[in-house]
Amino acid sequence: MSDLMVGLTTGTRVAVRTQIDPAPAHGPTLTDTVGELLALDDEQVHIATRTGEVVLRRDLVVAARAIPPKPTRRGAPHRAITIEDLHLVMTKGQPGLDEDWLGTKGAGWLLRAGAGWTGRSNSALPVGDPGLPLPEAVDAVESWYRERELAPVVMLPRPVGAGTSDDPLGALLLQRGWLEGHPADVLTGRTETLLHGAGPSPTGYSLQASDAADEAWLAGGSPRLLQHLDAARRILALPPRQVFLTARDAAGHVAGVVRVALADGWAGIFGLHVDPDHRGRGLGRWLTVEALRAAADAGASLTYLQVEPGNEPAQRLHRGLGMTAHHDYVYLARLQDSARP
């Protein structure tokens, strides 16, 4: 198989450039096809376009890339994507070890379990219709997590300025005694625009890039990652396209790490952590900028990340580069089953 299609999976929105065969005597010799990738094998590429399904010969493909989901409202692409579509992109960067859908796959509620590492990998994500009345859907969520001896947790996306009780599901969970945890902001931006905020690199440090999390990168992770090292190691092996960046000081010690997950034309920045002994020297900003460079080099035109509102240094860093709030989300967990999520 040609490497041109590596990393593209069915359901992804793609742009594929192919040679015209036979080549015309005059005019263009290449053509572009944009749409949803339906199927892919050694010989053919099937794409659903706005005018119908198109079948391309794979040996004629000269370029192919994932592109962001089609915006559903006007505005900058990183803001025009719906909350639900953005979460479907984001979950590819931090999946669960065990996943099921309540309702239609890709359009219902995604149930995720990840051995306790991160709320993103261990919560139900309501992005569509669960196929059941709301109370029964919540019953099904509780049953799914209890079968796995886990506390039921829901990640509830909210528009900017909305409260948990403003959402019908949020109101029901609160009524049932679920405990509301701390929110997280989802920030987005154009990758190229964000790179305009790059500053000077700190002196005395080197940077290593890899497509997998080696032991040095893992050792440089946050305390929570180190507490769940086995789960983290397994989860970080799941996303198909990633870049792991490791900063080292002059003595070769790991000073900081960050991860870039690539999917659907987006880059997600995860796991930024700077060793306490190296803070205050601009490493966090440098690692973030280098993550953006890696995203741009991989063709990801849009970038997202998640940060707690109370994390003032991280908020200043990311908003200072030009990222803006798309929405937020909050975790809710069964009060009698778990501590605060």
Angle among Cα 78, 79, 85 to the nearest 5 degrees reads 80
Q: What is the pLDDT of residue 6?
A: 66
Secondary element (H or E) of residue 235: helix 229-235
Question: 61-90: string of b/e by CB count within 10 Å (b at 16+)?
Answer: beebbbbbbeeeeeeebbbbbbbebbbbbb
Q: What is the pLDDT of residues 85-136, one digit of tens each?
A: 999 999 999 999 999 999 998 889 999 999 999 999 999 999 999 999 999 9
Q: Write down the pLDDT at residue 339.
A: 43
Q: Over the stretch 213-266, which tens digit does the pLDDT of each residue have? A: 999 999 999 999 999 999 999 999 999 999 999 999 999 999 999 999 999 899
Report the pLDDT value the prediction gives residue 179, as an integer from 0 to 100: 95
Q: Record the pTM.
A: 0.79
pLDDT at 126: 97
| Predicted local confidence at residue 340, as pLDDT | 43
Range in 2-11, 203-212, 254-263 with the lowest mean pLDDT: 2-11
**What is the spatial distance between Cα 303 and Cα 195, in angstroms, rounded to a whole number?**
11
CA gap 91, 309 in Å, rounded: 20
Whether the per-residue pLDDT at 291 is higher than 80: the answer is yes
How much is the pLDDT for 71? 61
- Do residues 295 and 262 lie in contact, with contact meaning Cβ atoms separated by under 8 Å? yes
CATH 3.40.50.720 at 189-327, yes or no: no
Does residue 201 surpass a pLDDT of 60?
yes
At 2 the pLDDT is: 46
Where exactly are the structural domains of the chain?
12-66, 77-182+329-333, 189-327
Assign 12 a pLDDT band (cuts: 50, 70, 90). confident
Check residue 3 and give its pLDDT: 61
Question: Does the structure show a pLDDT above 80 at 210?
Answer: yes
What whole-number percentage of the chain has pLDDT above 70? 93
22 prior amide bond cis, ω within 30:
yes
Residue 41: predicted pLDDT: 87
pLDDT (0 to 100) of residue 114: 97
Token pair of 270 as six digits: 């995860």
Mean pLDDT, to the nearest integer, of 269-274?
A: 98
* pLDDT reported for residue 11: 75
What is the pLDDT at residue 336? 65
Helix 168-175 to helix 134-147 angle, to the nearest 10 degrees?
A: 60
